[in-house]
């Protein structure tokens, strides 16, 4: 008899285990990024590399054979920039918010996984109950019959005098106990366990894990953007300081011109109009200094914000001018086939597609039955001291099943919505890959052309410097007019300023290229377990 009971029980458990491996819905497969074999700008870049050796200023050449350095900012060989990037990764508030969102996502994973584990609760209760039995007894005439037991002519008194009264008292005591309020004490445990036969919980956990990865990649993307913004702001600071120094030097030179013109005017070699023109040129150059001071102040405040400090916190250590960090002689950019593994936004789009695919499985599983095992055990007594007695034990256990029959189309609509969201996530992934390819090719083109522009501006500065010296010497000897000197001076000032701006722009362009390539997050992601 016992064997016949155990056999179907084991069969049911075996069936549950077999079904437990069933997970409905589509399985996620990482999408393959559709990318070209090489960058579109690579051919032009190779031409630049071939001619760079003959150029007056050797350009920094992108190379395709190796992947970019994850610590790309170190290639500028500027310890101050390295320190600022490190401080920003520790103190930036936007980055700290992104880290907290990772913590929130991981908490959601634990919450989703808990749905597939047994749920056990301890319970305890006390109730004082009045069941209203007395009314039922009165309605049935029980009390009238008890009163008749004590009557003189009752059968009990006929047998023995006083026996009727004794029976009446005993019956009243029993009735009083039945109709008195009852104290009911109860302690025990409740347990339930959803077997997840069709993988609803597992798909929910899969989706939550993908959303955690999405949060990690969002943090990585924020980190890459932060590093690039720190570097670009630092380049702008050093560029503004260089322009201020150049303009200050031009002011000193123009003061010499004004002094020279005044001397020439006293001996009749220059007119008063020449003096006024030189003075006006000096004032115009001095008027450029406030805008550079403004740019320096804004860059200092921008860097302070990026590292999580108040305005003015970095002024003491960055106020001294320094050269714009030069670009390295070569820049590894790798191949387009490796871009999807480096760009955090592409990795985030892939994680989003993974989560959407898992959600389709959750929606499909809602069409299948939910099977749970439930149980309850404890003790129940009218006195608290009796709760520890085994004779007061009660229990119940068994499986339960819930099968959706009619939901008003809610389940079908939810499945359609999940599939539409999956299709949208797939399109977003493709769009993100195309945007990344566009960003890199644009950055390569801008970096290449701005280097060519900077080199040409360098040649222009050298030529304008010689022209200015010749014009000034000729003016001193009375060979040429003062207008020629002013024009040469103006062109030299413009050339030097344009060359300084071009140098800053090339370094800023390289930062944009590094950002487009997507490096700089690997160490942080490894420390987070992402």
Give which of 92, 354, 353, 33 is closest to 222, Cα–Cα. 92
DSSP lists the bridge partners of residue 370 as: 402
Res. 33: pLDDT tops 80 = yes
pLDDT of residue 354: 95
Asked whether residue 515 falls in the same domain as residue 422, the answer is yes
For 263-312, the pLDDT digits (tens) are 878 877 778 888 888 888 889 889 999 999 999 999 999 999 999 999 99
Q: How far is the C-alpha of 50 from the C-alpha of 46, rounded, in Å?
A: 6
More confident residue, 47 or 528: 528
Average pLDDT over residues 449-464: 92
We report the CATH number of the domain holding residue 209 as 1.20.1600.10
Residue 47 binned pLDDT confidence (cut-offs 50, 70, 90): very low
Domain assignment of residue 352, yes or no = yes
Is residue 341 situated within a structural domain? yes
Query: Are 291 and 414 contained in the same domain?
Result: yes
Sign of the C-alpha dihedral, residues 217, 220, 222, 228?
negative
pLDDT for 526: 57
Instruction: Note the pLDDT tens digit of each residue in 477-502.
Output: 778 777 787 788 888 888 988 999 99
pLDDT > 60? residue 3: no
**What is the predicted pLDDT for the residue at 55?**
40
Is residue 468 a part of any domain in this protein?
no
Per DSSP, the three-state class of 270 is coil
**503/63: higher pLDDT:** 503
Asked if residue 516 is part of any domain, the answer here is yes
Question: How many Cα atoms within 13 Å fall on the side-chain side of residue 280?
Answer: 9
Q: What are the CA-CA distances from residue 109 to residues 102, 115, 185 (Å)?
A: 11, 10, 39
pLDDT of residue 402: 82
The mean of the pLDDT values for the chain is 83
Measuring CA to CA, which residue among 240, 230, 231, 251 is closest to residue 323?
A: 240
pLDDT (tens digit, 9 = 90+) per residue, 122-146?
Answer: 888 888 877 677 776 777 776 766 6
Torsion 504-510-516-522 (CA) sign: negative
Specify whether 150 is located in the same domain as 289.
Answer: no
Q: Which residues contact 382 (CB under 8 A, 6 or more apart)?
A: 182, 183, 184, 185
Q: Residue 249's domain spans which residues? A: 36-43+74-114+196-319+335-367+404-461+496-528
User: Quick one: which H or E segment has residue 306?
Assistant: helix 289-306
- On whether the CB atoms of residues 331 and 62 are closer than 8 A, the answer is yes
pTM above 0.85, yes or no: no
Task: Please tell me the predicted confidence (pLDDT) of residue 148.
Answer: 65
Instruction: Say which residue the tokens 């025990």 belong to.
Output: 188
∠484-489-490 over CA atoms, to 5°? Answer: 100
Please tell me which of 378-382, 459-463, 469-473 the model is most confident about, judged by mean pLDDT. Answer: 459-463
The pLDDT of residue 250: 85
For 101-111, what is each residue's pLDDT tens digit?
Answer: 888 888 988 88
Query: What per-residue confidence (pLDDT) applies to 18?
Result: 47
487's CB contacts (< 8 A; 6+ apart) are: 471
Model confidence pLDDT, tens digit, residues 200-237? 889 999 999 999 999 999 999 999 999 999 999 999 99
Q: Which of 155, 180, 205 is the last residue of a domain?
A: 180
Is 140 a domain residue?
Answer: yes
Question: Do 452 and 516 fall into the same domain?
Answer: yes
Same domain, 455 and 505: yes
In a domain, 215, yes or no: yes
pLDDT given for residue 163 in this prediction: 62
Average pLDDT over residues 315-319: 91
For residues 103 and 144, membership in a common domain is answered with: no
Residues 155, 254 within the same domain = no
Instruction: Please give the span between the terminal C-alpha atoms of the chain, in angstroms, as a whole number.
Output: 56
The whole-angstrom separation of Cα 178 and Cα 185 is 18
Q: Is residue 386 part of a domain?
A: no
Q: Which of 56-65, 174-183, 373-382 has the largest mean confidence?
A: 373-382
Q: Say yes or no: 285 and 153 in one domain.
A: no
The mean pLDDT value for 145-150 works out to: 65
Same domain flag for 422 and 508: yes
- If one counts every other C-beta atom within 10 angstroms of the C-beta of residue 393, the result is 11
Across the range 81-110, mean pLDDT stands at 90
pLDDT at 67: 82
How many structural domains compose the chain? 2
Alpha carbon distance 33, 340 (integer Å): 7
Q: Decide which of 147, 180, 213 is a domain's last residue.
A: 180
Any domain includes 7: no
Co-location of 265 and 156 in the same domain: no
519 in the same domain as 442: yes
Cα–Cα distance for residue pair 44/445, rounded to 1 Å? 8
* Together in a domain, 155 and 265: no
The encoded tokens of residue 53 equal: 């050796």
């Amino acid at each position: 008899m016992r064997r016949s009971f155990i056999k179907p029980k084991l069969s049911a458990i075996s069936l549950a285990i077999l079904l437990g491996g069933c997970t409905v819905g589509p399985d996620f497969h990482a999408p393959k990024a559709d990318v070209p074999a090489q960058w579109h700008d690579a051919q032009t870049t190779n031409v630049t590399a071939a001619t760079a050796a003959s150029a007056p200023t050797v350009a920094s050449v992108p190379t395709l054979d190796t992947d970019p350095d994850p610590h790309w900012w170190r290639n500028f060989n500027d310890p101050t920039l390295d320190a600022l990037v490190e401080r920003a990764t520790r103190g930036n508030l936007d980055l700290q918010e992104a880290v907290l969102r990772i913590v929130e996502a991981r908490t959601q994973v634990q919450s989703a996984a808990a749905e597939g584990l047994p749920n056990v609760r301890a319970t305890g209760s006390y109730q004082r109950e009045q069941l209203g039995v007395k009314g039922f007894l009165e309605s049935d005439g029980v009390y009238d019959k008890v009163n008749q037991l004590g009557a003189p002519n009752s059968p009990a008194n006929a047998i023995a005098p006083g026996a009727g009264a004794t029976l009446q008292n005993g019956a009243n005591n029993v009735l009083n106990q039945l109709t008195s309020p009852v104290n009911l004490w109860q302690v025990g445990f409740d347990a339930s366990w959803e077997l997840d036969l069709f993988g609803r919980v597992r798909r929910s956990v899969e989706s939550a894990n993908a959303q955690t990865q999405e949060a990690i990649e969002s943090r990585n993307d924020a980190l890459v953007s932060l590093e690039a913004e720190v570097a670009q702001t630092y380049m702008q600071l050093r560029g503004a300081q260089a322009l201020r120094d150049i303009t200050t030097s031009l002011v000193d030179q123009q003061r010499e011109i004004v002094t020279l013109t005044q001397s020439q005017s006293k001996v009749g070699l220059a007119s008063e109009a020449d003096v006024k023109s030189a003075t006006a040129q000096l004032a115009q150059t001095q008027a450029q200094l406030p805008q550079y001071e403004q740019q320096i102040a804004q860059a200092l405040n921008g860097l302070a914000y990026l590292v999580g400090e108040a305005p003015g916190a970095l002024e003491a250590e960055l106020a001294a001018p320094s050269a714009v960090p030069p670009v390295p002689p070569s820049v590894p950019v790798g191949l387009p086939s490796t871009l999807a593994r480096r760009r955090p936004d592409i990795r985030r789009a892939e994680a989003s597609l993974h989560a959407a695919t898992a959600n389709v499985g959750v929606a499909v599983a809602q069409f299948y039955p939910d099977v749970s095992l439930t149980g309850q055990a404890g003790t129940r007594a009218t006195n608290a001291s009796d709760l520890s007695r085994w004779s007061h034990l009660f229990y119940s256990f068994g499986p339960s099943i819930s099968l959706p029959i009619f939901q008003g189309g809610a389940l079908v609509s939810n499945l359609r919505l999940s599939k539409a969201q999956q299709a949208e996530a797939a399109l977003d992934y493709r769009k993100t890959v195309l945007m990344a390819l566009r960003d890199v090719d644009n950055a390569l083109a801008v970096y290449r052309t701005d280097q060519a522009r900077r080199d040409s501006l360098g040649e222009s500065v050298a030529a304008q410097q010689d022209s200015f010296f010749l014009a000034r010497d000729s003016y001193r000897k009375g060979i040429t007019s003062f207008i020629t000197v002013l024009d040469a001076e103006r062109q030299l000032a413009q050339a030097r300023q344009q060359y300084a701006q071009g140098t800053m722009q090339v370094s800023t362009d390289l930062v944009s290229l590094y950002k487009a390539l997507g490096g700089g997050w690997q160490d942080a992601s490894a420390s987070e377990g992402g």
